[in-house]
């Protein structure tokens, strides 16, 4: 077994709180606040940074050495960007994309052929036959109870099968702390606070321990991507496609404008535009690959 912690300083612990993802393990409350359960997705907004969002998936798959998997699951497939890569690498495999967003699945169906699409909640989904490979790129940080979910996913694999997971690990970054700042800035706090998402991602060491209890080989690493974004307020554009959505949806028009003004001012201080008009947006991600 190996554990590789790469290229990042604050790699082991993100804060003093136990991430919600692993709280269930300790018998603590693990329910998500109302409104955080289902995030409605906008495929167009999400795909604005398609290339940058796909790169970690390629890095994840580069560590999957399984030869010729017959049955592959793209768990939380979204618009199918990763399914298309899987399709290209293993053209003879049965590939199934699972997601609970009808909007994202509609885009996937429109763009990619040769993949079966299933609308289902990852929490309750189970494969109809044991997969050789389950890939989950940028999904599981939307779910809690990792201590139950991850062993369950491992248990569905065929012997020798692989589970490959990538999750953003950036809840301590200004892109997220500026949300807390904006939420706390006005009377909307009471409305918005229950919609914010506490850090759901545990430390690399915790996942290593969790995976090692049922896998024969475990590979854990982090990468911090120094993403170069173009345009005005690109970090706000980025988070508008993901974590900001439930908050913006909850506000009336004038409040939304004011909220975005406060958030944007905080973001511009943290991620200033460079001389060429580009903005550097560092983004840390955690990678887990386990073979049973």
Ligand X SMILES: C[S@@+](CC[C@H](N)C(=O)[O-])C[C@H]1O[C@@H](n2cnc3c(N)ncnc32)[C@H](O)[C@@H]1O
Under rule CB under 6 A, residue 57 binds ligand X: yes
Applying CB under 6 A, which of residues 137, 170, 239, 240 lies at the interface with ligand X?
137
- Three-state SS letters, 122-155: CCCCCCCCCCCEEEEECCHHHCCCHHHHHHHHHH
If one asks whether residue 85 binds ligand X (CB under 6 A), the answer comes out as no
User: Binding to ligand X by residue 123, rule CB under 6 A?
Assistant: yes
Q: Which stretch binds ligand X (CB under 6 A): 95-103, 171-179, 215-223, 268-276?
A: 95-103
- Whether 282 and 226 have beta carbons less than 8 Å apart is answered as yes
**Minimum CB distance to ligand X, residue 99 (Å):** 4
Query: What contacts 166, CB < 8 A, 6 or more positions away?
Result: 56, 57, 59, 60, 136, 137, 138, 285, 286, 287, 288
Q: Find the binding residues for ligand X in span 230-259 (CB under 6 A).
A: 242
A 10 A CB-CB count for 147 gives: 19
Closest CA to 273 of 224, 225, 223, 236: 236
Tell me if 77 contacts ligand X by CB under 6 A: yes
260 Rama class: left (phi>0) / alpha (psi -120 to 50) / beta: alpha
Residue range at the interface with ligand X (CB under 6 A); choices 14-22, 63-71, 74-82, 194-202: 74-82
**Position closest to ligand X via CB:** 78
Q: Which position among 19, 20, 32, 41 is part of the footprint of ligand X (CB under 6 A)? A: 41
Interface residue with ligand X, options 86, 96, 138, 192 (CB under 6 A): 138
Of 188 and 223, the one with the shorter C-beta distance to ligand X is 223
Distance CA 184, CA 189 (A): 5
Q: Tell me: does residue 53 bind ligand X (CB under 6 A).
A: yes
Q: Does 144 bind ligand X (CB under 6 A)?
A: no
Q: Give the neighbor-by-neighbor strand order of the sheet with 133-137.
A: 2-3, 217-229, 279-291, 162-168, 133-137, 71-75, 94-99, 116-119
Going by C-alpha positions, the residue among 171, 99, 190, 177 that lies closest to residue 137 is 99
- In angstroms, give the least distance from the CB of 13 to ligand X: 24
* Shortest reach from residue 228's CB to ligand X, in Å: 20
Q: Considering the rule CB under 6 A, would residue 78 count as an interface residue with ligand X?
A: yes
Site residues, ligand X (CB under 6 A) = 41, 53, 57, 76-78, 81-82, 99-101, 104, 121-123, 137-139, 142-143, 242
């Amino acid at each position: 077994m190996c554990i590789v912690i790469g290229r990042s300083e604050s790699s082991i612990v993100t804060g003093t709180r136990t991430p919600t993802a692993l709280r269930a393990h300790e018998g603590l409350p693990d329910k998500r606040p109302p409104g955080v359960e289902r995030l409605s997705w906008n495929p167009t907004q999400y795909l604005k940074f398609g290339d940058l969002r796909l790169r970690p998936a390629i890095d994840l798959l580069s560590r999957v050495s399984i030869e010729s998997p017959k049955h592959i699951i793209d768990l939380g497939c979204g618009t199918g960007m990763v399914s298309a890569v899987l399709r290209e690498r293993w053209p003879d495999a049965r590939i199934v994309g699972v997601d609970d967003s009808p909007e994202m699945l509609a885009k996937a169906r429109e763009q990619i052929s040769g993949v079966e699409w299933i609308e289902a909640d990852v929490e309750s989904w189970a494969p109809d036959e044991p997969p050789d490979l389950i890939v989950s790129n940028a999904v599981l940080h939307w779910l809690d109870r990792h201590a139950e979910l991850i062993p369950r996913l491992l248990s569905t694999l065929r012997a020798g099968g692989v589970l490959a997971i990538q999750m953003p690990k950036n809840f301590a970054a200004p892109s997220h702390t500026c949300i807390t700042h904006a939420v706390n800035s006005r009377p909307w706090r009471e409305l918005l606070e229950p919609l914010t998402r506490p850090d759901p991602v545990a430390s690399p060491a915790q996942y290593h321990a969790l995976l090692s209890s049922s896998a024969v080989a475990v590979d854990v690493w982090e990468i911090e991507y120094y993403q170069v974004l173009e345009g005005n307020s690109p970090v706000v554009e980025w988070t508008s496609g993901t974590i900001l959505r439930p908050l913006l949806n909850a506000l009336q028009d004038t409040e939304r404008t004011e909220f975005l003004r406060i958030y944007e001012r905080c973001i511009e201080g943290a991620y200033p535009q460079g001389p060429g008009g580009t903005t550097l947006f560092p983004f840390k991600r955690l990678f887990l690959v386990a073979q049973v």
